[in-house]
Amino acid sequence: MLKKCKEKVFRANLQLVENKLVLYTWGNVSERDRESGLVVIKPSGVSYAEMTADDMVVVDLDGNVVEGQLRPSSDTPTHLEIYKAYPEICGVTHTHSTFATSWAQAGRDIPFYGTTHADYFYGDIPCARALMRQEVEGEYEKNTGLVILERFQKDGLKPMEVPGVLVKSHGVFAFGKDAAESVHNATVMEEIAKMAFLTESVNPEVSRADRAMMDKHFLRKHGANAYYGQAKK
Amino acid sequence: MLKKCKEKVFRANLQLVENKLVLYTWGNVSERDRESGLVVIKPSGVSYAEMTADDMVVVDLDGNVVEGQLRPSSDTPTHLEIYKAYPEICGVTHTHSTFATSWAQAGRDIPFYGTTHADYFYGDIPCARALMRQEVEGEYEKNTGLVILERFQKDGLKPMEVPGVLVKSHGVFAFGKDAAESVHNATVMEEIAKMAFLTESVNPEVSRADRAMMDKHFLRKHGANAYYGQAKK
Amino acid sequence: MLKKCKEKVFRANLQLVENKLVLYTWGNVSERDRESGLVVIKPSGVSYAEMTADDMVVVDLDGNVVEGQLRPSSDTPTHLEIYKAYPEICGVTHTHSTFATSWAQAGRDIPFYGTTHADYFYGDIPCARALMRQEVEGEYEKNTGLVILERFQKDGLKPMEVPGVLVKSHGVFAFGKDAAESVHNATVMEEIAKMAFLTESVNPEVSRADRAMMDKHFLRKHGANAYYGQAKK
Amino acid sequence: MLKKCKEKVFRANLQLVENKLVLYTWGNVSERDRESGLVVIKPSGVSYAEMTADDMVVVDLDGNVVEGQLRPSSDTPTHLEIYKAYPEICGVTHTHSTFATSWAQAGRDIPFYGTTHADYFYGDIPCARALMRQEVEGEYEKNTGLVILERFQKDGLKPMEVPGVLVKSHGVFAFGKDAAESVHNATVMEEIAKMAFLTESVNPEVSRADRAMMDKHFLRKHGANAYYGQAKK
């Protein structure tokens, strides 16, 4: 069942290790199969070195396990809230990558400081608020998804223009049109977070880059008139 | 004698190199054999590349060498104080890993800033006080163990809830139910120390994460009702 | 056509990956063929792992594709402005390398702090101003080249004495007598940028190194009486 | 001639690359042959990847090339001043390693902050003053050696107790009883420099570790009653 999708999710999870975004089992990637609407996700607490594509778990949008011998990632309800709110998202990556998580722990949005950022994120990378006690003690992982949605809705953000978010005191969630793209965006977030830290160290008075630069770089790569890369066939 | 335990301690010491926690011979791992109560530890000043499982040294809790051609690690008395005080600890790792040792040199506890921390440490990671002149000039390595115990007792800390400690002006000691788990915890301490440094750089006004978050993350992984990972069989 | 030059440009682009100057497709290298005056450059948005020497694109100084199935790098017009202004430059590298780009985002020249710097750069490494809105909305990539030239001309800099430049809110451009040398200089810029960041962290009151030191180190390596390295045959 | 010594110097130079202390040709190691009093050193500006043991150059203490097809390192006169002043030194390493060089650029001694430091350096790691204009314009490399000696003599330092030094605005020189030990000490200096930078970042008010700790750690490893490591046979 969903053999190809499992293979993609499996490979995307291994990519986390190759891109040095995770220690031990500190991350997980999922993908929504567009046809069936089901979600394939990494099993909980299984090491990347030992797991196989067949270990990937299939769940429906309510979190019921449809196929798989293992428990799905404990963060599954967070992924599902994101999928339910945004049909265009079909890949979600969660990490505790070093620099981006440090911004999350610091509780700050990552400011737009340059074109590296604007090539992927159309504006600051938001940091969602910390969960309140009752949200933590209730359906914690589901509520983590809800504070992400709250932030996107409050600021009118579009997840394909801002394909990633921090959660205060926690870590990183990145989005994509599939599992691989969400890992790509999580990798970029880590690099942007590192550069933003260094930028402020080198110049504590730095201000955001110009809006015109942001429009130019995001749109030359992602807009209707994009001219970066090769023409799509 | 204790062939299996020597093999485990040997592998755990090599893990220090793979996880980039040590330069040269700057670290050592031991394990207490639950049955005999004896401790197997790395020999002193022997390079990781040259040593074999057979080089591991067996000592009793008083520090007498029970088996082995080589001198045990000069830090052996520190390990032994920890084992004597806490029967639940059966693995100890000592390192000078870069970021965690920098916190030790700075003489600061590592504050609880997020869930990465709470997944392993139920509260701040303590920094034991520096030894006083007479403690240094007396049984130095044993006294290093005693200031660790002093700190745990003073604050009422449980080593399986806070499985690691810094010693001021010195370095890192991590605990576990066996050698491998103590290395795992030492690896996590290094990453948490790095993130805490970055977190404070990004936001010098940052305060600790919420207590509810700490309870949630530590207990979903370690408590009686833990639901992270796969069910134990 | 220009088979040898394509091979050199191909290898120089791969060197960006080996030297850890790029993530994904975030960099490009070109070389001007001295005989024909044509420029060979990396194709746009093609991954380093998949591309071959044959994929390199040949353009003339007006940006017309003379040979190649793929679109040239979107940054081609920046490269061309540099080649047109300085006949001695026959290699250009563009990267978003972490530390140097952070200085670019900070909008600061990298001060001359020591001999590592002076072995390659005869003075501070300049940071060209950000483009204005109309420059961004017009011929953006060409104008990026023009602000670089503006800075060199304003300060009377010679590109073979200062073989690299930052562009505010953007990244790094490095020069050389061929593609390989421009990559070499981009690699050095990244290291110098890292050291300058650390130097200011360790001593916020630091001032530039002495002019005599700068003359000595640059000229013992690059001047008419250079004595570093082996005699040229 | 000095075949074994050339092999040792060759391997020690390659160790610089393995230990990530050098970019390109930014470092050199020499060894003094105790019997002949001659010094074997890396040739100038030759890449580590291409050179062979036979390329090592033999010079006498006056800098005359006794054997070798290639020019010796341009830093040879600095090495020779050190050998002439201290008969106990038979290995010298020069690098521009990132963190230690940043302290040199900052013009600061590296303070003794912990046992990692004291295991190798019996007190702060000194930073020799910058050369004055006439010293730079005169016999520059020889004068670099002289400011190192000046600092050791002024402070009454012994090079086997403080086996390394920074030179302001320049880089690192480390000493040893042979080439390999000098590389070992250069590697340690880089790590200590990194930790000291981090220590001050984590606690800007930090003060030096206690003298008793310094005595204990240096002497348990290097003194007449050393008990670290295995008994020398």
The pair phi, psi for residue D61, each rounded to 5°, is: -70, -10
Q: How far is C171 from chain A (nearest CA, A)?
A: 8
For residue A38, pLDDT beyond 70: yes
Residue owning tokens 């000095």: D2
Q: Which of A66, A50, A67, A63 is nearest to A10 (CA)?
A: A50
pLDDT above 90 as % of chain B: 93
Burial (CB count within 10 angstroms: exposed 0-12, middle 13-18, buried 19+), residue B209: buried
Q: Residue A31 corresponds to which amino acid? A: E
Q: Which of C109, C128, C210, C124 is nearest to C161 (CA)?
A: C124
For residue C232, pLDDT beyond 80: no
Phi-psi category of residue B22: left, alpha or beta, with phi > 0 → left and psi -120 to 50 → alpha: beta
Cβ within 8 Å, pair B169-D113: yes
3-class DSSP assignment, residue D40:
strand
Q: Catalytic: which of A48, A86, A109, A119?
A: A119
Hey, is the C-beta of C23 within 8 angstroms of any chain A C-beta? yes
Q: Is C178 tagged catalytic?
A: no
Which chain B residues touch D113 with a CB distance below 8 Å?
Answer: 105, 169
For residue A68, pLDDT beyond 90: yes
Which chain C residues touch D98 with a CB distance below 8 Å?
Answer: 191, 194-195, 198
Q: Is D55 tagged catalytic?
A: no
pLDDT digits (tens, 9 = 90+) for C7-47: 999 999 999 999 999 999 999 999 999 999 999 999 998 99
Q: Which pLDDT belongs to residue C118?
A: 96
For residue D84, pLDDT beyond 80: yes
Which chain B residues touch D195 with a CB distance below 8 Å?
Answer: 98, 101-102, 105
For residue A137, pLDDT beyond 90: yes
Helix C98-106, helix C179-202: angle, nearest 10 = 70
Q: Catalytic: which of C60, C119, C120, C215?
A: C119
Cβ within 8 Å, pair C102-A199: yes
CA separation for the pair D145, D42 (Å, rounded): 17
Q: Which pLDDT belongs to residue A232?
A: 60
Q: Where are the beta strands (DSSP E) in chain A?
A: 27-32, 39-41, 57-59, 65-67, 91-95, 127-128, 164-167, 172-176
Which chain A residues touch B185 with a CB distance below 8 Å?
Answer: none
Angle at A82 between CA A157 and CA B222, to 5 degrees: 125
- Chains near A with 3+ CB pairs less than 8 A apart are B, C
pLDDT digits (tens, 9 = 90+) for A86-135: 999 999 999 999 999 999 999 999 999 999 999 999 999 999 999 999 99
pLDDT digits (tens, 9 = 90+) for D1-14: 899 999 999 999 99
Q: Which two tokens stand for residue B91?
A: 């693995």
Work out the average pLDDT over C50-64. Answer: 97
pLDDT digits (tens, 9 = 90+) for D117-168: 999 999 999 999 999 999 999 999 999 999 999 999 999 999 999 999 999 9
DSSP result, C19-82: TT--STT-EEEEEE-TTT--EEEPBTT--TTT--GGG-EEE-TT--EEE-SS-B-TTHHHHHHH
Q: Which pLDDT belongs to residue B122?
A: 96
Cβ atoms of A188 and B131 closer than 8 Å:
no
Distance of CA C31 to CAs A107, B199, C35, C173, Å? 45, 42, 12, 13
CA separation for the pair A66, A54 (Å, rounded): 14
Closest to B105 (Cβ–Cβ): which among D114, D210, D212? D114
Work out the average pLDDT over A164-178. Answer: 98
Q: Which residues 6+ apart lie within 8 Å of A134 measured at CB?
A: none
CA separation for the pair B201, D204 (Å, rounded): 12
pLDDT digits (tens, 9 = 90+) for D9-35: 999 999 999 999 999 999 999 999 999
Cβ atoms of D104 and D170 closer than 8 Å:
yes
Q: How far is A97 from chain B (nearest CA, A)?
A: 9
CA separation for the pair B141, B44 (Å, rounded): 13
Q: How far is B112 from chain D (nearest CA, A)?
A: 15
**Mutate which: D105, D137, D206, vs C, most C CBs within 10 A:** D105
Report yes or no for ipTM above 0.90: yes
Q: Which two tokens stand for residue B70?
A: 């080589």
pLDDT digits (tens, 9 = 90+) for B152-206: 999 999 999 999 999 999 999 999 999 999 999 999 999 999 999 999 999 999 9
Total Cβ atoms within 10 A of residue C13: 28
CA separation for the pair B47, C7 (Å, rounded): 44
Q: Where are the beta strands (DSSP E) in chain D?
A: 27-32, 39-41, 57-59, 65-67, 91-95, 127-128, 164-167, 172-176
pLDDT digits (tens, 9 = 90+) for D167-205: 999 999 999 999 999 999 999 999 999 999 999 999 999
Q: Which pLDDT belongs to residue D230?
A: 85
pLDDT digits (tens, 9 = 90+) for B73-106: 999 999 999 999 999 999 999 999 999 999 999 9
Hey, is the C-beta of D48 within 8 angstroms of any chain C C-beta? no
The dihedral over CA atoms of D87, D88, D94, D95, expressed in degrees to the nearest 10, equals -170
Total Cβ atoms within 10 A of residue B231: 9
Q: How far is B44 from chain D (nearest CA, A)?
A: 5
Q: Which CATH architecture has domain D3-222?
A: 3-Layer(aba) Sandwich (3.40)
Which chain A residues touch C171 with a CB distance below 8 Å?
Answer: 114-116
Q: Which two tokens stand for residue D133?
A: 């204009």
pLDDT digits (tens, 9 = 90+) for C86-128: 999 999 999 999 999 999 999 999 999 999 999 999 999 999 9
**Domain spans of chain B?**
3-222
Work out the average pLDDT over A71-83. Answer: 97
For residue A233, pLDDT beyond 70: no
CA separation for the pair D33, D6 (Å, rounded): 10
CA separation for the pair B113, C102 (Å, rounded): 26
Hey, is the C-beta of C116 within 8 angstroms of any chain D C-beta? yes
Total Cβ atoms within 10 A of residue A132: 13
Radius of gyration of chain A (CA): 17
CA separation for the pair C111, A202 (Å, rounded): 12
Which chain D residues touch C195 with a CB distance below 8 Å?
Answer: 98, 101-102, 105
Cβ within 8 Å, pair C96-A113: no
3-class DSSP assignment, residue B59:
strand
Residue owning tokens 């050193």: D41
Burial (CB count within 10 angstroms: exposed 0-12, middle 13-18, buried 19+), residue A55: middle
Hey, is the C-beta of A49 within 8 angstroms of any chain C C-beta? no
Residue owning tokens 């790509």: A184
Q: Taking all residues of chain D, what is their mean pLDDT, rounded to a whole number?
A: 96
Element (H, E) at C144: helix C140-154
Q: Which pLDDT belongs to residue A225?
A: 84
Q: Which of B66, B82, B74, B23 is nearest to B44 (CA)?
A: B74
Q: Which pLDDT belongs to residue B224?
A: 83
Q: Which of D26, D33, D25, D34 is nearest to D9 (CA)?
A: D33
pLDDT digits (tens, 9 = 90+) for D221-231: 897 888 888 87
Q: Residue B105 corresponds to which amino acid? A: Q
CA separation for the pair B78, B140 (Å, rounded): 9
Cβ atoms of A76 and A84 closer than 8 Å:
no
Q: Which pLDDT belongs to residue B229?
A: 86
For strands D164-167 and D127-128, give the pairing. Answer: parallel
Q: Which residues 6+ apart lie within 8 Å of A87 measured at CB?
A: none
**Of B215-224, C139-148, D95-104, which range is least confident?**
B215-224
Cβ within 8 Å, pair B191-A23: yes
For residue B149, pLDDT beyond 90: yes
CA separation for the pair B8, C216 (Å, rounded): 56
What number of residues does chain A have?
233
Q: Catalytic: which of D119, D122, D155, D227?
A: D119
pLDDT above 90 as % of chain C: 92
